């Protein structure tokens, strides 16, 4: 069983604190171009690590290239316990549009680009991000793409493989081809389609990393959430993060921000405990 003591979990061969950091928002508007405040972006990364974050989620197509370059500038040489997770499967056009990039040559180049910009010899974890649907998972084989990634892993360029934006059937296919250490799908207090999947993964010792943990482009809004937060003298977003941490011990969080203030708010959710009454009220949101 991969799950260890409260507060940490096993991500492949790594032990990480369950509250991590997602670096996507360090790029410019629309995850495109340079940050509005480069010094602040570097400061956020450094404070995250100084505050106990040892799991950072990024990608070379954030920016593109900008976020990985910021991570290397802020943190290299990296602390020994820091786990950098990247993802491939997309590229950007010159206007910031998101385009699929699943060809073997494109994926191989993406792995080498991530290595170079992060200043690494081997990537800790690479997530294969599927894009069958712009709005969420959709069925389709991932055999060709995962075959390419597995070959790169065998070459010693990748330690562990994960998958993102996938269905249970795709997870089963992936696990029949390679060891999968994490699944990264959309999930939050109001969007709970993966409830059964989280429990299945937990039983199998695989971590689940929700993207859009605070609602994504439409932040979570609920009178029940607001009231629970007020009762706890916390912010609604802190409650939403605390709920995810209490949802299952195999859930890892990667809330993102480009603000030191928001970073500190997010990290404070590690100490927030929701009692049975609060959890019951929050369950009404999904219902």
8 A C-beta contact, residue 130 and residue 166: yes
Q: What is the dihedral of CA 58, 59, 63, 68, to 10 degrees?
A: 70
Q: How far is CA 111 from CA 116, 122, 127, 187, in A?
A: 9, 9, 11, 27
Question: pLDDT truncated to tens, each residue of the chain (287 aa)?
Answer: 234 435 999 999 999 999 999 999 999 999 999 999 999 999 999 999 999 999 999 999 999 999 999 999 999 999 999 999 999 999 999 999 999 999 999 999 999 999 999 999 999 999 999 986 666 788 999 999 999 999 999 999 999 999 999 999 999 999 999 999 999 999 999 999 999 999 999 999 999 999 999 998 788 999 999 999 999 999 999 999 999 999 999 999 999 999 999 999 999 999 999 999 999 999 999 86
Helix-strand-coil split of the chain, %, nearest 5: 40, 20, 40
pLDDT tens-digit readout, 200-212: 999 999 999 999 9
Ramachandran assignment for 92, one of left (phi > 0), alpha (psi -120 to 50 degrees), beta (any other): beta
Report, in angstroms and rounded to the nearest whole number, the Rg of the chain calculated over CA atoms.
Answer: 18
pTM for the full predicted model: 0.95
Active-site residue, selected from the candidate residues 61, 62, 78, 187: 62
The CATH T-level fold of domain 10-218+250-255 is TIM Barrel (3.20.20)
The domain segmentation of the chain, as residue ranges, is 10-218+250-255
Report phi then psi at 241, rounded to 5: -70, -45
pLDDT tens-digit readout, 178-199: 999 999 999 999 999 999 999 9
Q: Which pLDDT value is given to residue 141?
A: 96
Q: Rounded distance, CA 269 to CA 151, Å?
A: 39
Q: How far is CA 217 from CA 11, 25, 210, 221, 233, in A?
A: 27, 12, 14, 12, 25
Q: Which pLDDT value is given to residue 34?
A: 97
Among this protein's residues, is 62 annotated catalytic?
yes
Q: Which pLDDT value is given to residue 3?
A: 41
Q: Other CB atoms closer than 10 Å to residue 1's CB: what's the count?
A: 10
Q: Which pLDDT value is given to residue 136?
A: 79
């Amino acid at each position: 069983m991969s799950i260890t003591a409260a507060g940490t979990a096993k991500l492949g061969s790594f032990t990480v604190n369950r509250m991590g950091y997602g670096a996507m928002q360090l790029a410019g508007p629309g995850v495109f171009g340079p940050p509005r405040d480069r010094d602040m972006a570097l400061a956020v990364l450094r404070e995250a690590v100084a505050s106990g974050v040892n799991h950072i989620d990024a990608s070379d197509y954030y920016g593109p290239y900008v976020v990985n370059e910021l991570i290397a500038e802020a943190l290299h040489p990296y602390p020994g316990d820091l786990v950098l997770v990247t993802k491939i499967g997309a590229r950007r056009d010159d206007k910031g549009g998101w385009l699929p990039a699943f060809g073997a040559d494109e994926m191989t180049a993406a792995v080498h680009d991530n290595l170079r910009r992060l200043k690494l010899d081997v990537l800790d974890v690479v997530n294969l991000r599927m894009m069958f649907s712009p709005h969420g998972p959709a069925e389709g084989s991932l055999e060709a793409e995962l075959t390419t990634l597995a070959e790169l892993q065998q070459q010693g360029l990748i330690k562990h493989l994960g998958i993102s934006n996938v269905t249970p059937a795709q997870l089963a296919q992936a696990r029949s081809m390679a060891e999968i250490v994490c699944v990264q799908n959309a999930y939050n207090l109001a969007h709970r389609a993966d409830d059964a999947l989280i429990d299945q993964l937990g039983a199998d010792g695989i971590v689940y990393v929700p993207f859009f943990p605070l609602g994504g482009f439409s932040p979570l809004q609920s009178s029940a959430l607001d009231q629970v937060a007020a009762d706890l003298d916390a912010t609604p977003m802190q409650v939403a993060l605390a709920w995810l941490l209490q949802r299952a011990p195999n859930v890892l969080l990667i809330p993102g921000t480009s603000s030191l203030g928001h970073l500190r708010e997010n990290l404070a959710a590690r100490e927030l405990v929701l009692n049975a009454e609060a959890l019951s009220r929050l369950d009404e949101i999904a219902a």
